[in-house]
Amino acid sequence: MLFKPISQNFNDFVIDRDKERCINCEVCVRQCSYEAHFWDDARQCVMHDNTKCVGCHRCEALCPTGCLTIKKNPADFRDNALWTPTYMKHIYKQGDTGGILLSGMGSPSAKPIYWDNLQLDASQVTNPSIDPLREPMELRTYLGSKPDKVEVEETPEGPRLKTKIGPQIKLEYPMMFSAMSFGSINFNLHKAMAMAATELGIVYNTGEGGLHPTLYKYGANTIVQVASGRFGVHKDYLNAGAAIEIKVGQGAKPGIGGHLPGEKIDEEVSKTRMVPVGSDAISPAPHHDIYSIEDLLQLIYALKEATEYRVPVSVKIAAVHNAPAIASGIVRAGADIVVLDGFRGGTGAAPTMIRDNVGIPVELALAQVDNRLRDEGIRNWASLVVAGGTRCSADVIKAIALGADAVYIATSALVAVGCTLCGRCYTGKCPWGIATNEARLKKRQNPEIAAKRLTNLVKAWGHEIQEMLGGMGLNSIESLRGNRDKLRGIGLNEVELDILGVKHAGR
């Protein structure tokens, strides 16, 4: 194309418009925030520029005649197992710009997804399966530190728990909406998550962008996050939620901080984050007051003091090489919940190289952390939560069988409200109105609709989890937790089976 660098001319997608059906209504023109469709005055019809398409499928979804198909560009480079088009295009782009490559959403790279190599068990003749439609099936989950032993005393009214149990988060489903900061996604979705979490009896996480004043009323279903930038953190904020989470690392970009570009900081974001309008909000890579487990301990207890020990404190780390040792340290430092975020975890923006090459699969980290905490006899001190790439209820139930208490869902929540994983969150032009604060785009998410869809998703997964539990002859999620005997591996080698602590499917 004229006036365009080659990196753009090797476009990823082609827009196929069926002229038989197109009525030139310009719905696509108005929907595409990348201006790939346009009204062509000369030809008096709607036209398009393939090089601008990011493959978000918004136009296709809204085209009232269904005449659009967004296709992969069939133009092939010569086959080369090493030099795939992805790498070549990266290089063209960097040749053009000299800048680092940026990406949005979790890593799409073709690396093992262990969930797919794990199969669940089901009861047959003995220990018969349970029908969740007829029998009670417990999904309720409590997150927080559990005592080493419990003492019960007899009272005239019956037995009573004598042991004092620390603060817990009560979940009606073993799922939570993961941290996505206000700013990276917009207010409408924060509101939707808050509404859905309240309706479902679960919690959502504010992310590191603070909590909008109008959302304080959903506090009982909110986890407030404290990250290295400390945006929007103050006493009321800390006391607003059902738990506090210290974010140390993020699966999509372990080892680096965050950068919310000034364009995304509007009036509301500015107020909530407590940063000036239009200025970049930079989260440093480390917390500048945490250089050791002891420092972390201090922060955990500072937060507990600030909230008078009313709420549990969680610590979130990226799943990296020494996760088990780190997790053990975190638990010993007083965390009530440890969150492991795998390398498939989503992000609003991450350097592509880091996203695709740093960190380890969360399945492996989870199994190892669970093992380590058990071995040290401190597994009950903290709950374990995994995040990063949970695509379906089977992934959730497998995570729980591997040792998790609950999972965080983020990408699947976004997909539920329309995200097509086009991966251009960092542009701030999300055509689905998700990763954007632009007034004309963010209203594409109507919180009423989004909340309904999120609620539907979690309820649907809940039903499926109940079915699968019933199939295994279990009547509560509690009975599955860390019960790896309910899992078998296929297509895994000895080492992988050993790390995951599961038998091969043939055994």
Partner 1 sequence: MRRVYPNKDFCIGCHICELACLTAHSESKDLIIAVREEQASGLRPCKAVYEKGPVCVSLSCRHCENPTCVTACISGALYKDEETGKTKYDESKCVGCWSCLMACPFGAIRRNPSKGKIIKCDLCEGRDMPACVQACPNAALSYEDR
Least CB distance to partner 1 at residue 438 (A): 8
Cβ atoms of 358 and 312 within 8 Å: the answer is: no
By DSSP bridging, strand 45-48 and strand 37-40 are antiparallel
Q: Does 47 bind ligand SF4 (CB under 6 A)?
A: no
Q: Which of 43, 390, 331, 6 is nearest to 166 (CA)?
A: 331
> Within the chain, how many helices (H) and strands (E) appear?
16, 23
- Residue in this structure with the two tokens 């058990």, named with its chain if needed: 374
Stretch that binds partner 1, among 24-32, 273-281, 356-364, 489-497 (CB under 8 A): 24-32
Stretch that binds ligand SF4, among 27-35, 337-345, 376-384, 485-493 (CB under 6 A): 27-35
# residues near partner 1 by CB under 8 A: 19
Member of 8, 11, 31, 198 binding partner 1 (CB under 8 A): 31
Helices 362-375 and 323-332 meet at what angle, rounded to 10? 50
Q: Taking CB within 5 to 8 Å according to partner kind, which of ligand SF4, partner 1, none is near residue 374?
A: none
CA distance 7 to 3: 12
- Dihedral sign, Cα of residue 284, residue 289, residue 293, residue 296: negative
Mask for 412-451, x = binds partner 1 (CB under 8 A): ---------------------x----xxx--xx-x-xx--
Member of 10, 12, 14, 27 binding ligand SF4 (CB under 6 A): 27
Residue 370, Ramachandran bin (φ over 0: left; ψ between -120 and 50: alpha; else beta): alpha
Here the tokens at position 286 are 């480390």
Least CB distance to partner 1 at residue 50 (A): 22
Stretch that binds ligand SF4, among 60-68, 73-81, 252-260, 354-362 (CB under 6 A): 60-68
Least CB distance to partner 1 at residue 436 (A): 12
Member of 46, 171, 243, 333 binding ligand SF4 (CB under 6 A): 46
Least CB distance to ligand SF4 at residue 25 (A): 4
The strand order across the sheet containing 503-504 reads: 118-120, 487-489, 503-504
Residue 182 is classified by DSSP as: B
Q: Does 58 bind ligand SF4 (CB under 6 A)?
A: yes
- Dihedral sign, Cα of residue 39, residue 41, residue 42, residue 45: positive
Q: Does 24 bind ligand SF4 (CB under 6 A)?
A: yes
Here the tokens at position 217 are 């009323």
Least CB distance to ligand SF4 at residue 450 (A): 15
Cβ–Cβ contacts within 10 Å for residue 113, how many?
14
Member of 25, 91, 165, 460 binding partner 1 (CB under 8 A): 25
Mask for 365-384, x = binds partner 1 (CB under 8 A): --------------------
Between 73 and 298, name the residue whose CB sits nearer to ligand SF4: 73
Q: What share of the chain is helix, strand, coil (3-state, %, to 5)?
A: 35, 20, 45
CA distance 390 to 388: 6
Least CB distance to ligand SF4 at residue 81 (A): 29
Member of 59, 130, 409, 500 binding ligand SF4 (CB under 6 A): 59
Question: Residues 246-270, buried b or exposed e (16+ Cβ, 10 A)?
Answer: bbbbbbbbbebbbebbeebbbebbb
Among residue numbers 44 through 83, which ones bind partner 1 (CB under 8 A)? 62, 64-65
Between 70 and 203, name the residue whose CB sits nearer to ligand SF4: 70
> Can you give the binding site for ligand SF4, defined by CB under 6 A?
15, 17, 22-28, 31-32, 34, 36-37, 46, 53-59, 63, 65, 67-68, 70, 431
